[in-house]
Structure 1
């Protein structure tokens, strides 16, 4: 008998700290569930991955019985619960609710489920209303969650200047914030400001973070809510003016806006072609394995060169590779290496044509998804650890060895490599053609602080051609 259990908690905190998920799983297994599907998500959401997987399995006649601890584990909406139960009834799947045994096929059971699902939705709506009222009261009291740099919260959770002393500079955080504002107006770019304050004061800001910070209405002395728009939420901002000491004046705000507008022309636009060049996305820094970005010299020749993206980052993510290597030099060295190593690629291709690899079937993919869910729980429960080991063993035992490359595919790839070994072929391509063709042969290209270029090649085979 194919018996599935379904367990759900709303938050990771419930799963880890209160052990609610493990309790559900243990009860479901004790009740006879051979497999348990798990979601850590609100019951008001209809996009729960494992819940929808359960409904899919039921519709495919792969389930005989579904076990849950309470009816609200299926959802916190009357419509969602009824949709699930209708599917169970149509497919003749027995639903067992451990805390309240009911028969959805009987009139009394149908009535009981209606009452329980209505109560589940009522509790959810009541909680939502309480949270909404609490947040509304929070805003009416001018309270604030996370103050921006330079500000703190008083005993009433309202904004106030941060008078604590910054250890490195000996100044208060509020004074240090004023210095950062002055530097924003004085220095050439926000990146220069970030570098300076990290070197001098060990204060870390990203460029985007600094840009958002100087625009924050808190710095102007206002307490505001719903300023940043969120997807799916269309609410007008609530701004309470002059609620605390301001860090910047209206004149400073205008000066900052003018500075940001002037700097905007140096940033990417909607019509940017920064990724439209040969080897785009394939060039890596040898030292940190970070990507490298393209820039142009200020000379009228507009020479393209590549630089490690982590060189401009601060703290532990900073990379010492400051070398600016010409893009055309990287491309020419990569092509030269490819022409030279073409015979080795063909030799490797011939060896691979006789080898095998493991191809994932649909069943293995399903087991892999279940394995990911169980690992995400990070549980010390012996049953879950045993289930993880069992799934891993099943995946290993059901892997299918198949031939990696067919003869026709091999000959086609061999022909491509032979053409690519001719320098005249590469000279005939324009940049757009060069980008597409190099992407077919090149896995990545590493560039070190001395400008040395080390390409790694791949076989010119698509994923589909690797399957029989």
Structure 2
């Protein structure tokens, strides 16, 4: 079997490969040196998982290689232990290594000696570079400069984060009726500017709004992909190449990036022992607040709302959603997942279901029932909700009566609610009966009721747990909340619900003492 003369080329980044022709120059030199087949990588030199490097070593170990040509020693590796491993493998399989710049040949004793010396120098150069980068980052943090990497939707200009107003795409729904008139042989820059378009910042903002509406990463991704025609891509880093290709984890991390909320963040990740980057816990990040408040993608309170949604969905897992692709609605009683505990052993209860032709319902029961816990009776989900509403109503009335300023409390009204009420008052001023006017009144009353029921969802982050409970002193209000609103509100105010012997024993609210539930027929 004839063995091959193979050349290996490497550059560290795609910019080097495309802009400086560094990779092309290496390949040309290796070809002139006599390499019959050339492998190349665009990867860091300290990494051992480079695809073409691994292919080269596979061919060597298969006995198919006679000589390996490289231009410099640091093209094949920048790690001294890796270099020694390569030399051992080459010697084992009788493969010669030729380095063009240093005119070294591994087949000679002088070549082996010089090879090890060059390996030490290459590793030393990497350490010096790492030290320079470290000092540069320290200076960057002192000056509160933006990081080199930038999340999708923003761009770094003069060391500061700014909204990325680059023209990105135009949806078919955005095109004007006379859009064909824009296209001609003499199209100029001014006409291009007049074409409908969406900027990168506008698309990023739209992705945030889609997530807040969908209440979850998976349904948000589906809507984003469907809306913008996104499919899978091999692009590497979202934002750098201006290609949307979020995974679930990628979108989740992007939404929770402090940079989107006007803050600059340093030290988010670190290198592990094997050279890979690992995201550090959020509490270890170095965050400088309000560095670009006028150039942020998130509005007031949205960062906290995103955090609550993601953390709540992680705790509730897939059981909170329907069998179809979410339909942007949580299951009934989804808010109870992870909140119900056993009143005897204190363990978190599991929820199960009964599905027969005569009855269908879901219930909570102690996971250790019969194996160390005597709490064997279950509690249905509707019963838990009835007990919770009863306690909330009683506690709301008690808080209102015990508040010295209760007479001064005015229910919160959104701007939309005030406009709807004003329109209804205007229509009621006209005497007589008009079917069209009555239909409009009924529609306004319906919208007013919806907006009233949704009071917690707006400015919820500005309210304390006691304020939420106190304002909700209307039984009808608690009963008319949607599934999404229940998840947002109940999980904000309820810490734990304990069940015992088929009844709700107690309910513990966030930042408020526990409430003992009376053992009556309504809650049993």
TM (normalized to structure 2)? 0.40
Greater Rg over alpha carbons, structure: 2
TM (normalized to structure 1)? 0.44
